[in-house]
Amino acid sequence: MDYDQRHSEARLEIVEGLLRALNSSDVLATIHDSSDSRDAMRRLQLPPLGFSPTQAIHIPDMTLHRRTALGRLELETEVAELRSLLDPR
């Protein structure tokens, strides 16, 4: 596996997590109820949310822009592009 493929797979994992977080009202509550960022990352990985450690690192840092319709569309577009790169059928 080359560098570009590893980079694309890693980025896809992050972006899919961000999109999943946008669709979950529990994510904001979990972050809000956490004592600090380390606690938030730990709690995001627990059921029922079950985000990966990599996703849990990036979700609390998500900007407000990502929560807009345009931000969501940008993430969805990036996911489609990454999937196309990884599986160019």
pLDDT per residue of the chain (89 residues) written in tens, 0 to 9:
798 899 999 999 999 999 999 999 999 999 999 999 999 999 999 999 999 999 999 999 998 888 899 999 999 999 999 999 998 77
Question: How much is the pTM?
Answer: 0.90
Residue 86 neighbours by CB under 8 Å, 6+ apart: 5, 8, 9, 12
CB atoms within 10 A of CB 60: 17
Given this structure, which CATH class describes domain 3-86? mainly alpha
* Dist CA 2 CA 33 (whole Å): 40
* Residue appearing with tokens 């929560």: 67
